[in-house]
Structure 1
Amino acid sequence: MSVREAFGGARKVVTVLFCDVVGSTGMGEALDPESLRRLMERYFEEMKAVVERHGGITEKFIGDAIMATFGIPRAHEDDALRAVRAAAEMRDSLERLNQEFERDWGVAILTRTGLNTGEVITGDVQTGATFVTGDAVNVAARLEESAPPGEILIGEATYRLIRGFATAEPLPPFTVKGRAEPVTAWKLLEVATGARGSTGSLDSPLVGRDREFGKLEEAFRRVVDDQRCEAVTVLGAAGIGKSRITREFVLGLAGHARVVSGRCLPYGEGITFWPIVEVLRDAAGIGELGSLEEARPKLAALLKRGHDSALIGDRLAALLGLSEATPGIQETFWAVRKLFEELAASQPLVVVLDDIHWGETTFLDLVEYLADWLHGVPVMLLCMARPELLETRSAWMSGKPNATLVPLMPLGATETDRLIQNLLGGAPLAEEDRARIGEVAEGNPLFVEETLRMLIDEGMLQRRNGNLSLTADLATLTIPPTIQALLATRIDMLDEAERAVIERASVIGRAFWWGAVSELIPEEQRNRVGTSLQSLISKDLIRPDRSELREEDAFRFAHILVRDAAYRAIPKAGRAELHERFAHWLETKSRDRAGEYEEIVGYHLEQAYRSLAELGPSNERTVALGRRAAQPLASAGRRAFARGDMPAAVNLLSRAASLAPAEDPGRTELLPDLAFALMQTGDFGGMQAVLDDLKRAATAAGDPGLQAHAAILDLWIRLFTQPEGWADEAHREATRAISTFDAQGNERGLAKGWSLLGLFHMMKGRFATAGEAW
């Protein structure tokens, strides 16, 4: 079973919608209770249908309020947009309902709506519960309460996900009940029905696609020169640039071809031929809200050349909802083919079909039919798809001489760097910062753009003295919300066995081993791990990797953000258990190379501890886990100290010290080495803080050895801050410390004491004596 099923829920990013009736008390006074109930039942029925039509779930009715969620049980990359579109349609539907209510009961309903996006914990999917909890729910409710009657307010996170698809008016920050900080919100004005519009100032010319662009141009030349149909499929992962290269190609066709377009939708009712409906509207100039009287003559004008025009028109009119006829599949195929022949009779026709990996089987059959049966006319079927298309349609366009596949691969490092510079409009950003952003994006143009957009939105990329600089550690950067939504969708589409593998693999890290995943999987499911790994490879979510452990096959996530998205879905209690179990597996597996892997073991125990600590309250298990995690980290830190790698020593020793209780003797023993390592890296402020901690512990314990360490470290600080009179005191304290350490057999203490004494002799010009001390 997947981790979310094993631990009774999942952490998910969802969009929450609250819609409440304004002035329901007045309606109650005006209507008989039975009439009011019938009216509200009719209202709830209609609103629930709208929510479900957009892929949402009605969580509950609270009095007169509706709470709906978008993103459970399965995420979709456009959940926020679905929620906003649902809210807008609910408002429009209410206008129509009110005509009925005013006619029958003499009243009208007025509502206000709030939407917000954020991380929640979902209910137990095994029991079918979808109940969600989290701050995102509270904010959505507060936005609804703050909305004026008839208006829709959307939170900042939601707005960032839907900008470019909607027009919204920013509101001044305002306070809401239960939150200390003001809330930022937008008032929804309009939701676009077409493709995404502008999302901000980031823009760049097409980068790194010359070869692929050339393939598109060659295919179009063949279409024109040979007067034939050619099907071209641009294939690539989400965000890799399929839409961008297609858009640039289409722009270059101006004056040379007629271009019409349609796209497959990931959800909805009766959407099999939706792309063709959009193509028809595009070709005929029929708006979505156009009247039947306007649409019919426009459709007829497309078909004025052929002797079968009336018959073709009837079949196509049915697709547009202009006719009650229900033509068969083959009749529809024939009518679409005849339409394309008609459109291509006067000039080359390019039909752009986007997101065909979401296409219904019948629609894909239609596209292949067109590729086979369109003859003697210049038609280019330009399809865009993700690799998932080949999972459901492995023989897509197979064996067709007039079919071309244009795969898009990640950009190289040089191309990614050029893209970053273009997107920033030439604003200077240090090369190392550009490289760090490029490492996060790993050649995916959308990931580059959205990472930059998030850095700018959150003030992590700032202009200083005319230059841009990063103010954030990208290693701790969260996934941009647009990318999180996209990747969460891919993971949610996996079957249970595949999710079980990818979630447990995400706990191990970017690279992982087959045996480790099997160890974390319930025993009764381990025989399916190999099949699931192979399936995840075919879906380009993971890739084979070189193994550093004998007799263990290794794999690697195709992109670090895929790993992060899978990991974020796991409840923290589940993370803790799996990190601890993996640490045990690795300890057992690497027993003969314990020193090599103890830092990794320590990291996983540390993550287990921190996951539990964040859930609180602390208990014996949490404390014991912290102590256990500190041991391998401390050992790795001391080895780094011994080889002179002071930055690594600071990192490891400070983490170890933060895991154990303040009074723990093992923690106190770390402090001298940590303070000395901080001094070596020039962090005297950090060194002083650790020294103060050490002095308190030494006094409390009455330990001469710890007191000697504190005295020596105090002298090192004074050497750099108050050197007057330092030498004589250094000689006295070093001699005393050496005596204490010698009596205790403390070799590390002796090394520090003799080092200080040697420095004293060197400052006195006694170099031979100093050499003997060192």
Structure 2
Amino acid sequence: MIACPSCGAENAESARFCSSCGSQLRPDGAVHESRKTVTVLFCDAAASTSVGERIDAESLRAVMTRYFDAMRAVVERHGGVVEKFIGDAMMAVFGVPRVHEDDALRAVRASLGIRERLLDLDKSLRSERGVSIEWRTGLNTGEVVAGDTGTGHRFVTGDAVNVAARLEQAAAPGEILLGEATYRLVHDAVQVEPATELSLKGKSAPVAAYRLLGEATAESRVSRLQSPVVGRERPRRLLDEAWQQVVSERVCHLFTILGAAGVGKSRIVSDFVERHAAESRAVYGRCLAYGEGITYWPLGEVVRALAGITDEDDAAAARSRIEAFLQGETDAKVIAERLAAAIGLVEARATPEETAWAARRFLEAVASNDALVVVVDDLQWAELAMLDLVDHIATWTLDAPIMLICLAREELLDARPAWGGGKRSATTITLEPLNESESGDLVANLIGGTELPNAVRDRIVAASEGNPLFVEELLGMLMDEGVLVADDGHWKPVRDLAELSVPPTINALLAARLDGLPSPERAVLERGAVEGKVFHRGAISELVPEAERRELPVQLLALTRKELVRPDRSEFAGEEAYRFRHLLIRDAAYQAMPKATRAELHARFADWLGRVAGDRLAEYEEIIAYTRRAGG
């Protein structure tokens, strides 16, 4: 038996939570585990053995230290964690301690960055020591068990790790091989060529691999499925009304579109830009979730696009291009200097206020000739200085027709609850999910002139719950995997679609959102997922540690405000009930728990359900029996 450190009650040795108070039965320093989908990168110095034969041990150590330092710096810049060095190889993980929706792309960019750094290092070593280092890299994405010992040491285990190591071993010197799962997550953002299927140790079937050539250009990133805008009459009308004000009154209108990932914010804007292309000039900037020098990244993209600055332009040429738009402005040189500093063209610094002033004056000058549409995407990731800059432009622009469109998830309001408020020329809308009819129309548009069985369409509509990206990704996954096949103008399923797997792109979005929650809120979602899509507050209270029960109303309110759950009708008198806003969120929360944790929580939930059912116990016997089986 094991005694609970919180209440002293005795529990079975295999228990992970106290049966009396619900506290975790873990001593300090014990391993804390979770299930995550991560991308694993292995990179090995392929020629280090021959190098070691040509230089002494001390020199070899210095060479390898530079090699490892270069790789670590690139990995950490892209948000990865170096888990360990194994001989001449490095293993890095993207997705711990926190999952990001673009972990696979971060890993790919890191592998390209490593290649660039090691090419430079190789040139240096050839010159300094007359030796050369070759390397090879393998990347793979998959589910792992991620552990944290509580002492700062993290580790991951699972087949995804083994496959990444095997891909690295199969790569030729200087080659980067991507596993199938990684490629599916980044296929629209990279240039690859198929590699010969690999027979890897420990795998019964050949494994597909792709040779990474580089990142795709923006122009080459084309969605595999296309559709006109479905529904969205009100947002389109409001955008058009704001545009008429911009043009007729020569003002700046701040138009903010809030909504969940994949709900269609970018599609609405691209539709607007296409419809008004003849009477405006549109430019785009995107806020980045990570990186160095990203405070004014979207401003840099906008300025470079408007001024025609290319990668080949040096600082002087770039500043000249900016000044060309400022002819007649008395402060032209000052504006150009401050913009050049803000977007990293020169080492000089400007204050946030000076940068905002310069950005506004530059956009006013550009818009003096043509009405301007400036789109800033992913504003929820903007740093405070960038938010202040956007607000300054919207507030103080004079005699310049500028439509300033900002796209953001609702987390933006956590940083700026009153965003857009107090301005005469400002509109903020929230884009809601499509209804069932609109989702059905979207499916029909995406498959073009071919027909789809009603049962298949209804299954996709139900699973996507109104999210256009989910519709597109589910349909694309079924086509890519050969589950839907074209036959004489019809799409036919080759197997039952009762259980749809979640496309990896969608799984990454959901996992990242859950992983970004405070631990107590995430724990509530995970325990709610044990009960199902609808769960009861009493059940959660039973499943969380006793010390956390007092804060449960606060956590549920926070999750409701974040639109992860919503109040629902209760099955039991006196019990509050909640429903997951999306079934896929419930599934992601459930899958994040280790199987042993799920099993114990199922058993405890069955006990709770048996107690609250009371005289209605017979109604719930099957559910209780199923739950006990799930509990092992």
- Report the TM-score when normalising by structure 2: 0.93
Q: Alpha-carbon deviation of 1:443?
A: 0.6
Given that residues 73 and 125 in structure 1 are in contact (C-alpha distance below 8 angstroms), is that contact kept between their aligned partners in structure 2? Answer: no
| Amino acid across the alignment from 1:148 | A
The one of 562, 572, 575 aligned to 1:549: 572
Q: Which residue of 2 aligns with 1:187?
A: 211
**Separation (CA, whole Å) in 2 of partners of 1:534 and 1:235:** 20
Equivalent residues in 2 for 1:687-766, closer than 5 Å: none
Q: Alpha-carbon deviation of 1:603?
A: 2.2
SS of structure 1 residue aligned to 2:452: coil
The one of 420, 437, 441 aligned to 1:397: 420
Q: Which residue of 1 aligns with 2:545?
A: 522
Q: Which residue of 2 aligns with 1:129?
A: 153
**Separation (CA, whole Å) in 2 of partners of 1:115 and 1:104:** 31
Q: Which residue of 2 aligns with 1:71?
A: 95
The one of 404, 409, 413 aligned to 1:386: 409
Q: Alpha-carbon deviation of 1:204?
A: 1.1
Q: Which residue of 1 aligns with 2:34?
A: 10
**Separation (CA, whole Å) in 1 of partners of 2:364 and 2:25:** 52
The one of 58, 62, 65 aligned to 2:82: 58
Q: Alpha-carbon deviation of 1:293?
A: 5.2
Q: Alpha-carbon deviation of 1:193?
A: 6.3
Q: Alpha-carbon deviation of 1:235?
A: 1.0
Please say if 1:371 is aligned against 2:394: yes
The one of 335, 349, 355 aligned to 1:326: 349
SS of structure 2 residue aligned to 1:267: coil
Q: Which residue of 1 aligns with 2:69?
A: 45
Identity, % of aligned positions: 52
Tell me, which stretches of 5 or more residues in structure 2 are unaligned? 1-21
**Separation (CA, whole Å) in 1 of partners of 2:488 and 2:218:** 41
**Separation (CA, whole Å) in 2 of partners of 1:569 and 1:180:** 27
CA distances 1:708-763 after superposition (whole Å, capped 9, x unpaired): xxxxxxxxxxxxxxxxxxxxxxxxxxxxxxxxxxxxxxxxxxxxxxxxxxxxxxxx
**Separation (CA, whole Å) in 1 of partners of 2:23 and 2:379:** 29
Given that residues 2 and 501 in structure 1 are in contact (C-alpha distance below 8 angstroms), is that contact kept between their aligned partners in structure 2? Answer: no
The one of 524, 537, 551 aligned to 1:501: 524
Q: Which residue of 1 aligns with 2:474?
A: 451
Please say if 1:158 is aligned against 2:182: yes
Larger proportion of helix: 1
Q: Which residue of 1 aligns with 2:18?
A: none
| Amino acid across the alignment from 1:350 | V
Report the CA distance shift for 1:557/1:88 in structure 2 as closer, same or farther (over 3 A): same
**Separation (CA, whole Å) in 2 of partners of 1:531 and 1:289:** 54
Q: Alpha-carbon deviation of 1:4?
A: 13
Q: Alpha-carbon deviation of 1:35?
A: 1.2
Equivalent residues in 2 for 1:553-572, closer than 5 Å: 553-572=576-595
CA distances 1:204-224 after superposition (whole Å, capped 9, x unpaired): 111111221111111111100
Q: Alpha-carbon deviation of 1:252?
A: 1.9
Q: Alpha-carbon deviation of 1:551?
A: 0.3
Q: Alpha-carbon deviation of 1:99?
A: 2.2
Aligned residues: 608
CA distances 1:96-152 after superposition (whole Å, capped 9, x unpaired): 122221221112211111100000000126333321110101111111111111111
**Separation (CA, whole Å) in 2 of partners of 1:549 and 1:125:** 40
**Separation (CA, whole Å) in 2 of partners of 1:460 and 1:265:** 36
Please say if 1:283 is aligned against 2:306: yes
Please say if 1:425 is aligned against 2:433: no
Q: Whose relative contact order is higher, 1 or 2, with alpha carbons under 8 Å and at least 6 apart?
A: 2
| Amino acid across the alignment from 1:86 | A
Given that residues 456 and 497 in structure 2 are in contact (C-alpha distance below 8 angstroms), is that contact kept between their aligned partners in structure 1? Answer: no
**Separation (CA, whole Å) in 2 of partners of 1:51 and 1:570:** 27
Q: Which residue of 1 aligns with 2:14?
A: none
Given that residues 3 and 574 in structure 1 are in contact (C-alpha distance below 8 angstroms), is that contact kept between their aligned partners in structure 2? Answer: no
Given that residues 3 and 570 in structure 1 are in contact (C-alpha distance below 8 angstroms), is that contact kept between their aligned partners in structure 2? Answer: no
Equivalent residues in 2 for 1:250-261, closer than 5 Å: 250-261=273-284
Q: Alpha-carbon deviation of 1:319?
A: 2.0
SS of structure 2 residue aligned to 1:61: strand
**Separation (CA, whole Å) in 1 of partners of 2:349 and 2:479:** 52
CA distances 1:539-568 after superposition (whole Å, capped 9, x unpaired): 110001011210000000000001111111
Given that residues 230 and 371 in structure 1 are in contact (C-alpha distance below 8 angstroms), is that contact kept between their aligned partners in structure 2? Answer: yes
The one of 413, 435, 447 aligned to 2:436: 413
Q: Which residue of 1 aligns with 2:197?
A: 173
SS of structure 1 residue aligned to 2:156: coil
Given that residues 116 and 156 in structure 1 are in contact (C-alpha distance below 8 angstroms), is that contact kept between their aligned partners in structure 2? Answer: yes
Q: Alpha-carbon deviation of 1:174?
A: 2.2
Please say if 1:90 is aligned against 2:114: yes
Report the CA distance shift for 1:398/1:18 in structure 2 as closer, same or farther (over 3 A): same
Larger proportion of strand: 2
SS of structure 1 residue aligned to 2:198: coil
Q: Alpha-carbon deviation of 1:172?
A: 3.0
Which 10-residue stretch deviates more, 70-79 or 117-126?
A: 117-126
Q: Alpha-carbon deviation of 1:285?
A: 2.0
Q: Alpha-carbon deviation of 1:323?
A: 1.8
CA RMSD of aligned residues (A): 1.8
Report the CA distance shift for 1:279/1:3 in structure 2 as closer, same or farther (over 3 A): farther
Q: Which residue of 1 aligns with 2:323?
A: 300
Report the CA distance shift for 1:137/1:365 in structure 2 as closer, same or farther (over 3 A): same
| Amino acid across the alignment from 2:211 | K
